[in-house]
C-alpha cells in the first residue's frame, strides 16, 4: 500500500470533524483533523457532512431515443452533482432496452461521458418492447449488465405473464421492479382522483388503481415465495398493504420519491403541468402515511423517478403534457427539508438513499468503514440555493421547485476514489 | 364599474356584485337586439378572434353575433382551419394569433385548463367559451341572466336543480358557482357514476332520485347526456337513463308553482328531457339562447373596454 492518494480535510462524520484518507479507491482511514499527512491531492471539506454515496434505484435517462429530453451524459452529470454514486436507468427508451445491444450501448455511453462514475446500471425490460405480451430475453439482458428488470411505465396487467417473469428472473438473481397501476382504473387520468380533480374538471386516477395492483403483487410474491420490488408508492392504502405483507414475511420491498413525501394534489391547482406525475401527487393523508412508512422502513428506499422532459412538452394543457418530474438535481435538498422538519434524521437518509438500495439491487456495500469503497459525498446543510433552469444539470427543467430556494448543497462527490463532482464555488 | 379582470376563465373569479353588473349590462344590450337595426358602434375597431378548437355551432354563433352587433370585427378559427391540424401546439397557435394583435380571444377547447393556459401567455383578453369539463362561465352568466329577468331581486333563496351528467359538465360546475355565489340553493341529481369526485365538499345537496329531487324546486336545468358515456360504462343504456333521470311533467308537478325548465343545449329530446316539455310554457330554453347574445355582448363590452376605462395604454 502506497499511502493515501487523496485526503479530504475537515469532513463531519458521525459528529466528529475528520480527515478522510483515500487510497486506490478505498477508504484508508479517518484521521484526526490536523494530523500531518503525506504529500497528495487534498480537498478542504469546510466542515460539510460526510455521507455515503447515494444510489438512485429509479431514473429515466431517455437515451437512446429521446436525447432532446436528457441523454446519458447530462443525466449522469445531474447524478454526479446530486451526490449519487449509481443510478438504475429504466428501459422505456427508443428502442426499448430489451436486448443486449441496447444495454451495451447505454453502458458504453455512460463510460464515454463519465468513465469514473456515477455508475449507470441499466434496468432491462421485463417484456419485449414493454408490451406486456411476451418475456424479453431476460438472461441476455442479465449477461449484458442489467442490474434489475422492470416494465416501468407500462405495467404488466396480465398476472400470469407477471408470474412467469418473476419465476424466470429469480433464476437470474435479478430483482423485479413493478410499477403498480391498473390500466382500466387509470385510463386517461392526469392527476389524483379527489376533491381537486372534481373541481378542476380533470380525469382523476383513484388510489385503488395503485393499491389493487400492489395487493396482486404481494399475493403473488407470497404464493411464489419470490421477491418483488414495488416502484414509486404514492398512497396510504398501498403502504398499509405493504406493512401487512412484511408482517407476514412476504419478500416485498418498496420505494417512494421525495415528491410524494412533500407535495399533495393541491400543487396541480392552476393546471400546473410541472406537478403532473404518475402516480399522481395524492392527499395530505397519503403524505403522512408515506412519511411514517419511510421512517419505519415499511417503505425501504427513496428514489427520484427522475423523468426529464423538454420545456415545450410541459408547456401544454394538462392532458397533453407528459407525466414526470426531473429529480436528480434536487433529491438530496428535498430530502434534507424532511430532516429540517424533524420528519427524518440524518441516518434515515443514509439508509433510504444508500444502504438499503445497495442491498436490494446487490450493489457493492458502502458503510464508509476503512477498506470500504471510497464512495462518498460532502453535503453542506447550511447552504441554500435557488432552483433555476440554468443551475439544473439535467436537461429536464421540469420540477415544481423552479424558483424555490432549497436547503443544502452537495460540495463534493467521490466515486471509487475519483472526484466526479466538486463544487468550485466554495474556495 | 371599472372592470378589473383581463380574462374570463371561471365564475369563481367574479364577485356577486360583478355578476349582477354583467346582468345589468346584458339587460341594456338586450334592448339593442329588439331594434330594427341591431348594430351599435360601441366596439368599432376592436378585433375578436373566435378560436373554437372543440367544435361548437351555437356558442360560436352567439359570440359572433354579439361581436358584430357591437361593430367589433370577428374572425373565426376552428381546429380544422388552424395549424393545430398540422401538428402545431396550442401555445404556438395562440402566440401566432396574438402577433396579429386581437383585442380578445374567445376560446373553446376540449381540455380543462386550456383557457387558463392561454390567458397566462397572451396579453389580450381571453374569454373562456368552455374548457373541457372545467368551466363555461358565459353559459352560467346567461343562465343567471335568464333567471334574473324573471325573478329580479328575488333570486336569493330560490331553489335550483341540476339534473344529469354533472361529472363531465363544465356548465354544471360554472352554474353551481354562479348560483351559490348569488345565494341560491343548488341541488344535484345524477347517478353516482356521473357525479364528480369530491362533490361532498361542494356547497350543494345531492339527491339521487329525480322525483324526490324535484320537490320544492323553482327551476330545473337538464344537462345534455353525451352518448359516449354509455360506451364508457357509466350507465347501462339510454332507455334506463331516460326513465330515471329524464325530466317529465310529472316531476314538475312536484316542484314549486311557476317552476322553470332550462337546458344549455343541444338537447336529446326524450333522453334527459321529455320532448313536449322542451316546448312547454315553463321552458326557458329559447330565452336562454336570446339571453346568450345579450350576455356575450355585455361581456365583450366589459372586457374590450377595460383598458380604456382604467386609463391603461
Matching CATH topology for A6-49+373-388+404-422 and A52-360?
A: no
pLDDT in tens, A52-66: 999 999 999 999 999
Q: If you average pLDDT over residues A210-224, what whole number do you get? A: 98
Domain layout of chain B by residue ranges: 11-135+290-310, 137-284
Minimal C-alpha gap between B92 and chain A (Å): 10
Residues of chain B in contact with residue A270, where contact means CB-CB under 8 angstroms, are: 116
pLDDT in tens, A67-118: 999 999 999 999 999 999 999 999 999 999 999 999 999 999 999 999 999 9
Domain layout of chain A by residue ranges: 6-49+373-388+404-422, 52-360
Contact (CB<8Å) B133/A312? no
Average pLDDT score, chain A: 96
The predicted structure's pLDDT at residue B309: 47
Total length of chain A:
427
Read off φ and ψ for residue A231, nearest 5 degrees. -80, 155
Evaluate if residue A224 carries a pLDDT over 50.
Answer: yes
Contact (CB<8Å) A270/B116? yes
The predicted structure's pLDDT at residue B311: 44
Closest CA in chain A for residue B118: A317
Contact (CB<8Å) B111/A317? yes
Q: Report residue A410 as a C-alpha cell.
A: 452537495
Contact (CB<8Å) A200/B134? yes
The predicted structure's pLDDT at residue B308: 58
Q: Is the confidence metric ipTM above 0.90 for this complex?
A: yes
Contact (CB<8Å) A271/B89? no
Minimal C-alpha gap between B84 and chain A (Å): 13
**Is B76 in a helix, a strand, or coil?**
strand
Q: Report residue B18 as a C-alpha cell.
A: 360583478
Minimal C-alpha gap between B207 and chain A (Å): 18
Q: What residues in chain B have per-residue pLDDT under 50?
A: 309-313
The predicted structure's pLDDT at residue A167: 98
Assigned CATH class of B137-284: alpha beta
Contact call for residues A322 and A309 (beta carbons, < 8 A): yes
Match domain B11-135+290-310 to its CATH number in 3.40.190.10, 2.60.40.290, 3.40.50.300, 3.40.50.1370: 3.40.50.1370
A202 touches chain B (CB under 8 A): yes
Contact (CB<8Å) B112/A318? yes
The predicted structure's pLDDT at residue B97: 87
**Per CATH, domain A6-49+373-388+404-422 is 3.40.50.970:** no
A200 touches chain B (CB under 8 A): yes
A194 touches chain B (CB under 8 A): yes
**Per CATH, domain A52-360 is 3.40.50.2300:** no
DSSP H helices, A91-248, are: 100-113, 138-144, 159-172, 183-186, 195-200, 208-224, 236-247
Neighbours of A388 (CB within 10 A): 10
Residues of chain B in contact with residue A315, where contact means CB-CB under 8 angstroms, are: 91
Q: Which of A334, A268, A348 is nearest to A306 (CA)?
A: A334
Evaluate if residue A261 carries a pLDDT over 80.
Answer: yes
Rounded Cα gap, residues A141 and A98, in angstroms = 7
Rounded Cα gap, residues B130 and A11, in angstroms = 59
The predicted structure's pLDDT at residue A34: 82
Handedness of CA A64, A68, A73, A77 (dihedral sign): negative
Q: How does strand A119-125 pair with strand A84-89? A: parallel
Query: What angle is formed at CA A212 by the lines to CA A249 and CA A227, rounded to 5 degrees?
Result: 35
Q: Report residue A240 as a C-alpha cell.
A: 398499509
Q: Which bin fits B225, alpha (ψ -120 to 50), beta or left (φ > 0)? A: beta
Contact (CB<8Å) A317/B90? yes
State the pLDDT confidence band at A39, using cuts at 50, 70 and 90: confident
The predicted structure's pLDDT at residue A38: 84
pLDDT in tens, B240-278: 999 999 999 999 999 999 999 999 999 999 999 999 999
Mutation target vs A (from B53, B107, B112, B177; most A CBs, 10 A cutoff): B112
Q: If you average pLDDT over residues A240-260, what whole number do you get? A: 98
Residues of chain B in contact with residue A201, where contact means CB-CB under 8 angstroms, are: 112, 131-135, 170, 173, 196
Contact call for residues A194 and B197 (beta carbons, < 8 A): yes
Contact (CB<8Å) A200/B112? yes
Residues of chain A in contact with residue B167, where contact means CB-CB under 8 angstroms, are: 198
A269 touches chain B (CB under 8 A): no
The predicted structure's pLDDT at residue B88: 78
Residues of chain B in contact with residue A196, where contact means CB-CB under 8 angstroms, are: 198
Q: Is A305 a catalytic residue?
A: yes
Amino acid at each position: 500500500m502506497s499511502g493515501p492518494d487523496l485526503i479530504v480535510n475537515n469532513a463531519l462524520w458521525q459528529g466528529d470533524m475528520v480527515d478522510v484518507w483515500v487510497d486506490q479507491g478505498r477508504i484508508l482511514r479517518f484521521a484526526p483533523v490536523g494530523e500531518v499527512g503525506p504529500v497528495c491531492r487534498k480537498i478542504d471539506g469546510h466542515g460539510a457532512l460526510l455521507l455515503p454515496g447515494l444510489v438512485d434505484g429509479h431514473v429515466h435517462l431517455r437515451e437512446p431515443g429521446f436525447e432532446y429530453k436528457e441523454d446519458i451524459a447530462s443525466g449522469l452529470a445531474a447524478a454526479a452533482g446530486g451526490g449519487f454514486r449509481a443510478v438504475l436507468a429504466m428501459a422505456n427508451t427508443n428502442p426499448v432496452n430489451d436486448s443486449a445491444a441496447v444495454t451495451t450501448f447505454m453502458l458504453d455511453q455512460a463510460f464515454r461521458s463519465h468513465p469514473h462514475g456515477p455508475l449507470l446500471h441499466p434496468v432491462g425490460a421485463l417484456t419485449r418492447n414493454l408490451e406486456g405480451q411476451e418475456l424479453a430475453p431476460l438472461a441476455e439482458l442479465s449477461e449484458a449488465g442489467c442490474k434489475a428488470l422492470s416494465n416501468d411505465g407500462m405495467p404488466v396487467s396480465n398476472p400470469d405473464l407477471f408470474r412467469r417473469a418473476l419465476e424466470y428472473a429469480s433464476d437470474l438473481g435479478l430483482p423485479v421492479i413493478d410499477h403498480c397501476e391498473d390500466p382500466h382504473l387509470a385510463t386517461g387520468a392526469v392527476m389524483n382522483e379527489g376533491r381537486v380533480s372534481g373541481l378542476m374538471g380533470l380525469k382523476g386516477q383513484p388510489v385503488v388503481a395503485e393499491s389493487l395492483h400492489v395487493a396482486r403483487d404481494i399475493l403473488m410474491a407470497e404464493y411464489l415465495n419470490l421477491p418483488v420490488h414495488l416502484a414509486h408508492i404514492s398512497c396510504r392504502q398501498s403502504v398499509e398493504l405493504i406493512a401487512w405483507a412484511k408482517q407476514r414475511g412476504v419478500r416485498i420491498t418498496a420505494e417512494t420519491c421525495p415528491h410524494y413525501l412533500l407535495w399533495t394534489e393541491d400543487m396541480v391547482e392552476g393546471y400546473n403541468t410541472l406537478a403532473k406525475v404518475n402516480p399522481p401527487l395524492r392527499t395530505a393523508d397519503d403524505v403522512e402515511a408515506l412519511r411514517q412508512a419511510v421512517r419505519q422502513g415499511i417503505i425501504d428506499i427513496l428514489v427520484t423517478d427522475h423523468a426529464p422532459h423538454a420545456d415545450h412538452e410541459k408547456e401544454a394543457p394538462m392532458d397533453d403534457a407528459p407525466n414526470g418530474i426531473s429529480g436528480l438535481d434536487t433529491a438530496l435538498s428535498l430530502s434534507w427539508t424532511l430532516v429540517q422538519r424533524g420528519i427524518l434524521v440524518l441516518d434515515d437518509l443514509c439508509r433510504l438513499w444508500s444502504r438499503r438500495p445497495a442491498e436490494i439491487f446487490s450493489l457493492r456495500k458502502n458503510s464508509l468503514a476503512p477498506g470500504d469503497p471510497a464512495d462518498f459525498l460532502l453535503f453542506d446543510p447550511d447552504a441554500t440555493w435557488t432552483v433555476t433552469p440554468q443551475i439544473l444539470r439535467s436537461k429536464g427543467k421540469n420540477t415544481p421547485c423552479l424558483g424555490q430556494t432549497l436547503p443544502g448543497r452537495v460540495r463534493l462527490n467521490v466515486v471509487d476514489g475519483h472526484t466526479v463532482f466538486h463544487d468550485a464555488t466554495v474556495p | 364599474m371599472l372592470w378589473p379582470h383581463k380574462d374570463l376563465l371561471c365564475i369563481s373569479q367574479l364577485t356577486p356584485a360583478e355578476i349582477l353588473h354583467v346582468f345589468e349590462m346584458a339587460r341594456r344590450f338586450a334592448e339593442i337586439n329588439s331594434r330594427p337595426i341591431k348594430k351599435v358602434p360601441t366596439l368599432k375597431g376592436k378585433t375578436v378572434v373566435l378560436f373554437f378548437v372543440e367544435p361548437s355551432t351555437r356558442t360560436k354563433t352567439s359570440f359572433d353575433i354579439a361581436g358584430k352587433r357591437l361593430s367589433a370585427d370577428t374572425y373565426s378559427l376552428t381546429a380544422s382551419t388552424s395549424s393545430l391540424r398540422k401538428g402545431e401546439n396550442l401555445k404556438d397557435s395562440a402566440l401566432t394569433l396574438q402577433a396579429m394583435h386581437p383585442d380578445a380571444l374567445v376560446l373553446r377547447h376540449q381540455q380543462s385548463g386550456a383557457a387558463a393556459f392561454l390567458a397566462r401567455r397572451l396579453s389580450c383578453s381571453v374569454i373562456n367559451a368552455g374548457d373541457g369539463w372545467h368551466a363555461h362561465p358565459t353559459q352560467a352568466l346567461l343562465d343567471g341572466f335568464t333567471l334574473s329577468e324573471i325573478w329580479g331581486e328575488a333570486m336569493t333563496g330560490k331553489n335550483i336543480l341540476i339534473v344529469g351528467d354533472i361529472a363531465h359538465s363544465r356548465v354544471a360546475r360554472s352554474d353551481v358557482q354562479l348560483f351559490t355565489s348569488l345565494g341560491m340553493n343548488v341541488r344535484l341529481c345524477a347517478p353516482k357514476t356521473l357525479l364528480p369526485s369530491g362533490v361532498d365538499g361542494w356547497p350543494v345537496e345531492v339527491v339521487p332520485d329525480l322525483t324526490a329531487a324535484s320537490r320544492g324546486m323553482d327551476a330545473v336545468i337538464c344537462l345534455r347526456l353525451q352518448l359516449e358515456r354509455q360506451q364508457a360504462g357509466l350507465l347501462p343504456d339510454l332507455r334506463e337513463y331516460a326513465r330515471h333521470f329524464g325530466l317529465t311533467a310529472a316531476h314538475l308537478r312536484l316542484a314549486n308553482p311557476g317552476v322553470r325548465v332550462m337546458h344549455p343545449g343541444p338537447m336529446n329530446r326524450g333522453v334527459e328531457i321529455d320532448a313536449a316539455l322542451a316546448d312547454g310554457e315553463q321552458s326557458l330554453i329559447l330565452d336562454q339562447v336570446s339571453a346568450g347574445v345579450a350576455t356575450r355582448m355585455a361581456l365583450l363590452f366589459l372586457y374590450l373596454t377595460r383598458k380604456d376605462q382604467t386609463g391603461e395604454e
